Amino acid sequence: MINNMEYYKIFYYVAKVGSFTKAGEELCISQPAVSQSIKLLEESLGSSLFIRVPKGVKLTPEGEMLFSYVKRGYEYIRLGEEKFKKMLDLEHGEIRIGASDMTLEFYLLPYLEAFHEKYPGIKVVVTNAPTPNTLTLLYEGKIDFGVISEPFQTKSGIHYKRVKKIRDIFVAGNKFSHLQDKILEYKELEKLPIISLEDNTSTRRYVNQYLQANQIVLNPEFELATSDMIVKFAIRNLGVGCVVEDFASEGIREGKLFKLQFKDEIPERHICIVTSNQGPISNAAKRLLGTLKAKDE
């Protein structure tokens, strides 16, 4: 195979337009330069590629066979270049994000909506998973970045930025109205039916750590996969729900739920953006990350 792929490019144009002169015009090079390139290619391959005709040149049988392959290859390369440029211009591309229900709904969603309106050709793939699973996806290079909630532990090469404060609260429905005007001790929760998230979530871990530090251990009657379900269970008076306040705000406004009051509130924590320096991310993902970080500075 000849080393200089430029000769195949010239061969492609000559075969396409049927003329050395016209090929030179397309490529902005001289006709003698086109002739010389074809001559060197023919010498390298050991066969003539064109025969002269009154209005230019046409392919020999060997040339037609070669052109059938070169045409597909060259045009495929040009298509790749076009798509590459469109990705740089954010006309096309893909962003892969890991996020939980909470971080998606109460932080990321408005930004995705604005980004999609500005760059409709960018495909956004969101893998919905708890914080530990999202971090695993990031370690494995399966997402460009994650949006997770504290607490979490990261490996080397992982960077995070806090972007929004959140607070964990306990809520209940009208069956527990006798608790509504009281200032409670967290110890009293041990006597109540508790509804919480499953063990593999940062929210459950954070609340457990805080309560255990105060010698309080909860044994939930219901362990659910999503905070939305906790709110629904609490509205139906199946117990006292532990959720991030944003999830319960609508139910509280509508009077379907109330927030239990304690002498000390559970300390705030944060939603964070996590990235890895282990591999490259798409230009589109860089642009979205820049938007997220700029909004929160």
| The 3-state secondary structure of the chain, one letter per residue | CCCCCHHHHHHHHHHHHCCHHHHHHHHCCCHHHHHHHHHHHHHHHCCCCEEEECCEEEECHHHHHHHHHHHHHHHHHHHHHHHHHHHHCCCCEEEEEEECHHHHHHHHHHHHHHHHHHCCCEEEEEEECCHHHHHHHHHCCCCCEEEEECCCCCCCCEEEEEEEEECEEEEECHHHHHHCCCEECHHHHHHCCEEEECCCCHHHHHHHHHHHHCCCCCCCCEEECCHHHHHHHHHCCCCEEEEEHHHHHHHHHCCCCEECEECCCCCCEEEEEEEECCCCCCHHHHHHHHHHHHHCC
Say what the pLDDT of residue 260 is: 97
**Residue 265 near residue 167 (C-beta atoms within 8 A):** yes
Say what the pLDDT of residue 84 is: 73
Cα gap 216→266, rounded to integer Å:
13
In the structure, what pLDDT confidence band is assigned to residue 1 with cuts at 50, 70 and 90? low
Say what the pLDDT of residue 86 is: 58
pLDDT(130) > 60: yes
pLDDT(270) > 90: yes
pLDDT digits (tens, 9 = 90+) for 8-33: 899 999 999 999 999 999 899 999 99
CATH number for 168-267: choose from 3.40.50.970, 3.90.1150.10, 1.10.3720.10, 3.40.190.10.
Answer: 3.40.190.10
Q: 9-18, 103-112, 164-173, 285-294: which has the minimum mean pLDDT?
A: 285-294
**Residue 11 near residue 36 (C-beta atoms within 8 A):** no
| Averaged pLDDT for residues 119-147 | 90
Say what the pLDDT of residue 295 is: 59
pLDDT(181) > 90: no
pLDDT digits (tens, 9 = 90+) for 189-211: 999 999 999 988 888 999 999 99
Q: Which tokens sit at 288?
A: 């979205």
Say what the pLDDT of residue 67 is: 92
Say what the pLDDT of residue 93 is: 77
Percent over 70 (pLDDT), the chain = 94
Percent over 90 (pLDDT), the chain = 62
**93-155+275-295 has CATH 3.40.190.10 classification:** yes
pLDDT(292) > 90: no
| Averaged pLDDT for residues 257-284 | 90
Say what the pLDDT of residue 79 is: 76
| Averaged pLDDT for residues 99-116 | 91
| Averaged pLDDT for residues 120-128 | 89
pLDDT(216) > 80: yes
**What CATH number should be reported for the domain whose range is 6-88?**
1.10.10.10
Say what the pLDDT of residue 285 is: 85
Q: Where in the chain is the domain with CATH 3.40.190.10?
A: 93-155+275-295, 168-267
pTM above 0.75, yes or no: no
**Mean pLDDT value across the chain:** 89
pLDDT digits (tens, 9 = 90+) for 37-96: 999 999 888 999 999 998 889 999 999 999 999 998 888 887 777 667 655 656 677 889
**Residue 169 near residue 113 (C-beta atoms within 8 A):** no
In the structure, what pLDDT confidence band is assigned to residue 294 with cuts at 50, 70 and 90? low
pLDDT(122) > 60: yes
pLDDT(297) > 60: no
Q: Where in the chain is the domain with CATH 1.10.10.10?
A: 6-88
**Residue 41 near residue 80 (C-beta atoms within 8 A):** no
